[in-house]
Chains A and B, each alone.
Chain A
Amino acid sequence: MGRKTKFAHLRSNIFAGFVVSLIAMPLALGLAIASGFPPIAGIIASVVGGLVVALFGGSYVTITGPGNGLVVVLLGAVTVLGEGDMQAGYLYALAAVILSGVLLLVFGFLRFGSLSDFFPATALQGMLSAIGITILLKQLYVMLGDLTTKGAALDLFLGIPDLIHALITDGTTGQWYAAAIGVASLFIMVFYSNIRNRFFHLVPAPMWVVLLALGFDAYFSFFGQGNPISKELLISLPENLFGGLPTPNFSKWNQSTFWGVVLSITLISSIESLLSIKAVDKLDPQKRRSNANKDMKALGLATVVSGFLGGMNVVTVIARSSVNVNNQASNRSANFFHAVFLFVMVLVFQDQLRRIPLTALAAILVYTGYKLASPVIFVRMYQIGKEQLLVFLTTLIATLLTDLITGILIGLATTFAVHVVLNKAFWLFSRNLLKPNVLMYKETETQNYYVGVIHFCTFLNFYKLKSKLDVIPQDMRAVVDFSLCSFVDHTVQESLQNYEDLFERKGGALEIIGLDVHDTDSSHPFAVRTLRPMKTLRVFGGGRTKRQQQLEALAQEHGWTYTEAPKTNKALLRGHPVYQTAVVERMYNMLEEPKNSLSLFDITYSEGAFIAKENVQTTFLRVTLEKPIPIFSFDRELLLEKLSHLAGVHDIDFPDFPEFSKDFYVQGDNPTKVRAFFNAKMVSFFSAYGFYHVMSNGKELLVRQFLRPATPAEAAAMIEFGLALKKKIDG
Chain B
Amino acid sequence: MQQKQYSTIVVGVAFSPNIQANIFEALRMSVLFNASLVMVHVGEQTTEKAAALEKIIAGFDGDLPNYRVLWQAGNPVDVLLHACISQKANLLILGAIKREGLLKYYLGSVARKLTRKAPCDVLLLIKPSVVRVPCASAVVNGLAHPKTEEAIERAFYVLSSLGAQKLTVVEEIPEDSVAIKVDDDRSLRQSTIAKERIKLRENSRVQAILKHIPTNIKGRLEVVVQPIFGTRGYSIGHYARVVRADLLVMNAPRKLTLWDRLFPHDLEYILSDLPTDVLIVR
Which residues of A line the B interface, CB within 8 A? 58, 111, 113, 288-294, 435-436, 438-442, 444, 450, 452, 454, 470-471, 473, 481, 484, 533, 607, 610-616, 637-640, 642, 645, 707-708
Which residues of B line the A interface, CB within 8 A? 98, 101-103, 127, 129-131, 133-134, 136-137, 165-166, 181-185, 187-189, 191-192, 222, 224-231, 234-235, 238-239, 241-244, 264, 269, 272-273
Least distance between B129 CB and chain A CB atoms (Å): 5
Closest 3 CB pairs of A and B: A439-B238, A291-B184, A291-B183
Contacts of A454 in B (CB 8 A): 238, 241
Q: Decide if A637 touches B238 in the complex (CB within 8 Å).
A: no
Contacts of A289 in B (CB 8 A): 184-185, 188
Q: Decide if A642 touches B192 in the complex (CB within 8 Å).
A: no
**Cα distance, A294 to B189, chains bound together (Å):** 18
Contacts of B165 in A (CB 8 A): 637-639
Least distance between B213 CB and chain A CB atoms (Å): 19
Q: Decide if B130 touches A610 in the complex (CB within 8 Å).
A: yes
Q: Decide if B227 touches A470 in the complex (CB within 8 Å).
A: no
Q: Residue of A at shortest CB range from B234?
A: A436
Least distance between A362 CB and chain B CB atoms (Å): 39
Q: Decide if B183 touches A58 in the complex (CB within 8 Å).
A: yes
Q: Residue of B at shortest CB range from A476?
A: B192
Least distance between A466 CB and chain B CB atoms (Å): 11
Q: Decide if B183 touches A441 in the complex (CB within 8 Å).
A: no
**Cα distance, A58 to B235, chains bound together (Å):** 33
Contacts of B226 in A (CB 8 A): 441, 444
Contacts of A440 in B (CB 8 A): 228-230
Contacts of A435 in B (CB 8 A): 234, 264, 269, 272-273
Known: A473-B192, A610-B130. A640 touches B184 (CB 8 A): no
Contacts of B272 in A (CB 8 A): 435
| Complex A-B: 15 CB contacts under 8 Å | A58-B183, A292-B183, A435-B234, A436-B231, A441-B227, A444-B224, A471-B191, A533-B102, A610-B131, A611-B127, A615-B103, A638-B166, A640-B244, A642-B134, A645-B134
Q: Decide if A611 touches B184 in the complex (CB within 8 Å).
A: no
Least distance between A637 CB and chain B CB atoms (Å): 6
**Cα distance, A611 to B128, chains bound together (Å):** 9
Q: Decide if A288 touches B184 in the complex (CB within 8 Å).
A: yes
Least distance between A700 CB and chain B CB atoms (Å): 24
Contact of B137 among A292, A294, A639, A645 (CB under 8 A): A639
Q: Decide if A707 touches B129 in the complex (CB within 8 Å).
A: no
Least distance between A707 CB and chain B CB atoms (Å): 6
Least distance between B234 CB and chain A CB atoms (Å): 5
Interface contacts beyond A435-B272, A481-B242, A616-B244: sample of 6 additional A-B pairs, CB < 8 Å, sorted by A: A291-B183, A439-B239, A450-B242, A471-B192, A610-B130, A708-B242
Q: Decide if A639 touches B166 in the complex (CB within 8 Å).
A: yes
Contacts of A471 in B (CB 8 A): 182, 188, 191-192, 229
Q: Residue of B at shortest CB range from A707?
A: B244
Contacts of B129 in A (CB 8 A): 610-612
**Cα distance, A645 to B130, chains bound together (Å):** 16
Least distance between B216 CB and chain A CB atoms (Å): 20
Q: Decide if B185 touches A293 in the complex (CB within 8 Å).
A: no
Least distance between B95 CB and chain A CB atoms (Å): 12
Q: Decide if A439 touches B228 in the complex (CB within 8 Å).
A: yes
Known: A470-B182, A610-B130, A613-B127. A441 touches B239 (CB 8 A): yes
Contacts of A612 in B (CB 8 A): 98, 127, 129
**Cα distance, A279 to B120, chains bound together (Å):** 57
Least distance between A42 CB and chain B CB atoms (Å): 30
**Cα distance, A707 to B245, chains bound together (Å):** 11
Contacts of A614 in B (CB 8 A): 103, 244
**Cα distance, A450 to B181, chains bound together (Å):** 21
Least distance between A432 CB and chain B CB atoms (Å): 9
Contacts of A607 in B (CB 8 A): 133
**Cα distance, A616 to B230, chains bound together (Å):** 25
Known: A436-B269, A473-B188, A533-B101. A484 touches B241 (CB 8 A): yes
Known: A473-B192, A533-B101. A439 touches B183 (CB 8 A): no
Q: Decide if B238 touches A290 in the complex (CB within 8 Å).
A: no
**Cα distance, A450 to B192, chains bound together (Å):** 15
Contacts of A288 in B (CB 8 A): 184-185
Q: Decide if A637 touches B184 in the complex (CB within 8 Å).
A: no
Q: Residue of B at shortest CB range from A287?
A: B185
Contacts of B230 in A (CB 8 A): 436, 438-441
Least distance between B277 CB and chain A CB atoms (Å): 11
Q: Decide if B184 touches A441 in the complex (CB within 8 Å).
A: no
